[in-house]
Structure 1
Amino acid sequence: MTYCVGMVLDRGLVFMSDTRTNAGVDNISTFRKMTSWEVPSDRVLTLMSAGNLATTQAVVSLLDERTKARELRDPSILGAPSMFQVARMVADTLREVIEEHAEGGQRADSTFHATLILGGQIAGSPPRMFMIYPEGNFIEAGKDTPFFQIGETKYGRPILVRAYEPDMSFEDAVKLLLVSFDSTVKANLTVGLPFDYHLYEVDSFRLGRQGRIAADDPYYEAISRGWGDALRDALHSLPSFRL
């Protein structure tokens, strides 16, 4: 299982993903699920993936290879004129990989399914974020849906819905995401640390702050412990039910 969140803020875009892959209780590994591309002064793209690991790695590899090819019939994701066109290319590549491996064509419930979050900015346009489905279609984040989750979404969603604010700082956004991820880790052992993150500043057109948060990270430990204590205190402060 996987948990990834992409969030649109006034300040820019925030990405966070876990790194656990699970093929059974005795086969748990760590793989990076976030990939970024940069063309300085022109564009920054970040892709996160959930689903079949072979599928998602093949998608990333194909996208990467096509950015390096000297002769292309169509522009690569590093030459596309808009984020919408980039989303179409990524969606087509995902569908291509799934159809190649699934007998009888691509199916959403196929063993080879995957879901992606794509976000970034191309010069001349505002930052945009998309969620791309196994079928090859996609939706875009907006004011009514300012963040996307993929993978194990249900445990970490309540805090995002209650606490997200578009004008929050990157620092508060990371804090919020760590609470969301910690809630998910506590409820589902197939999601685990370390967590990767990328903070993209609007109109910077360069990779932003990136890092990895390990299980022994002091700040993460403080967030995890503090959130648990805060929930208990909040519960005790509520009026008791009268029998």
Structure 2
Amino acid sequence: MTYCVGMMLNRGLVFMSDTRTNAGLDNISTFRKMSIWEEEGERCITLMSAGNLATTQAVVSELDERLKAPSERAPSLLAVPSMFQAARLVGETLRDVIDRQANSGQRADTAFNATLLLGGQIGDNPPRLFLIYPEGNFIEASEDTPFFQTGEIKYGRPILVRAYDPDMSFEEAMKLLLVSFDSTIKANLTVGMPVDYHCYTTDSLKTGVVGRVEGDAPYFQSISQGWGQALKDTLDSLAPFSFDD
């Protein structure tokens, strides 16, 4: 499994994804699940993936191949005129890849499904963020739903719901997301460090701050330990339960 978050802020978009893939407890690997396409000054698009690794890698490879030889029937992400059209293109590609894998050859025991998070900005249009389903359809983030999660979403969601603020800085968003990822990693072995991130600044139309946080990074360790202790201290400060009440 995996855990990915895409978040809209007033100053831009923040993306974070873990890197763990597994086919059982004895077969755990690390794969990058974030891809970025850029034409500086014109567009910057980020894609994160959760689900069957063969499916997601096939989608990214096909999108890369279209950059080399785009056509009317198979346009590239660097040619579509809007992020809505980019979401349609990625959704159609995902659906086609799943259909090809599911309907040809010997069927596997596991599903070929995958879910994608797509965000970015093209030209003068505002940044947009989409959650794309295996069927190829998608929904868009808004003021009411300013962030999307995919993969193991339930463990890290409470902190996002309680602490998200559209005015927060990229540094504050990174801290919030690392707490969310730490909570998920503590609760589910199918999500693991390191995590990749991309902070895109609105109207920059180029790749922003990109990096990777390792599990043994001092800051992540301080976040993990500090958050755990803060929760314990808060719990201890609450009024004790009494059966007499």
TM-score (norm 2): 0.95
Native 8 Å contact 1:102 1:110 kept in 2 = no
Q: Aligned partners of 1:71 and 1:126: how far apart in 2?
A: 26
SS of the counterpart of 1:50? strand
Greater mean alpha carbon deviation, residues 38-47 or residues 69-78: 69-78
Whether 1:21 aligns to 2:21 is yes
Q: What is the CA distance between 1:72 and its match in structure 2?
A: 4.6
Q: What is the CA distance between 1:239 and its match in structure 2?
A: 1.1
Aligned to 2:182: 182
Q: Aligned partners of 2:70 and 2:23: how far apart in 1?
A: 38
Q: What is the CA distance between 1:70 and its match in structure 2?
A: 5.6
Aligned to 1:63: 63
Aligned to 1:36: 36
Whether 1:80 aligns to 2:80 is yes
Q: What is the CA distance between 1:167 and its match in structure 2?
A: 0.5
SS of the counterpart of 1:99? helix
Q: Aligned partners of 1:74 and 1:15: how far apart in 2?
A: 27
Q: Aligned partners of 2:163 and 2:44: how far apart in 1?
A: 27
Native 8 Å contact 2:70 2:76 kept in 1 = no
Aligned to 2:155: 155
Which AA in structure 2 matches 1:167? D
Aligned to 1:91: 91
Native 8 Å contact 2:50 2:116 kept in 1 = yes
Q: Aligned partners of 2:43 and 2:240: how far apart in 1?
A: 54
Aligned to 2:204: 204
Q: Aligned partners of 1:237 and 1:59: how far apart in 2?
A: 50
Q: Aligned partners of 1:232 and 1:133: how far apart in 2?
A: 38
The 5 A counterparts of 1:86-125 are: 86-103=86-103, 111-125=111-125
Q: What is the CA distance between 1:73 and its match in structure 2?
A: 4.0
SS of the counterpart of 1:55? helix
1:96-123 deviation per Cα after TM superposition (whole angstroms, max 9, x unaligned): 000001138xxxx971000000000001
Which AA in structure 2 matches 1:202? T
Q: Aligned partners of 2:68 and 2:82: how far apart in 1?
A: 19
Q: What is the CA distance between 1:77 and its match in structure 2?
A: 1.0
Whether 1:52 aligns to 2:52 is yes
Which AA in structure 2 matches 1:102? A
Native 8 Å contact 1:185 1:192 kept in 2 = yes
Aligned to 1:131: 131
Greater mean alpha carbon deviation, residues 72-81 or residues 32-41: 72-81
Whether 1:193 aligns to 2:187 is no
Q: What is the CA distance between 1:128 and its match in structure 2?
A: 0.1
Q: Aligned partners of 1:36 and 1:72: how far apart in 2?
A: 23
Native 8 Å contact 1:184 1:191 kept in 2 = yes
TM-score (norm 1): 0.96
Q: Aligned partners of 1:44 and 1:112: how far apart in 2?
A: 28
Q: What is the CA distance between 1:189 and its match in structure 2?
A: 0.7
Native 8 Å contact 2:42 2:122 kept in 1 = yes
**% identity of equivalent residues:** 69
1:182-204 deviation per Cα after TM superposition (whole angstroms, max 9, x unaligned): 00000001100000000000000
SS of the counterpart of 1:6? strand
CA RMSD of aligned residues (A): 1.3
Greater mean alpha carbon deviation, residues 73-82 or residues 144-153: 73-82
Q: Aligned partners of 1:2 and 1:43: how far apart in 2?
A: 27
Q: What is the CA distance between 1:75 and its match in structure 2?
A: 3.0
- The 3 A distance-change label for structure 1 pair 240 and 227 is same
Which AA in structure 2 matches 1:3? Y
1:1-47 deviation per Cα after TM superposition (whole angstroms, max 9, x unaligned): 10000000001000000000010111000000000000010000000
Q: What is the CA distance between 1:74 and its match in structure 2?
A: 4.8
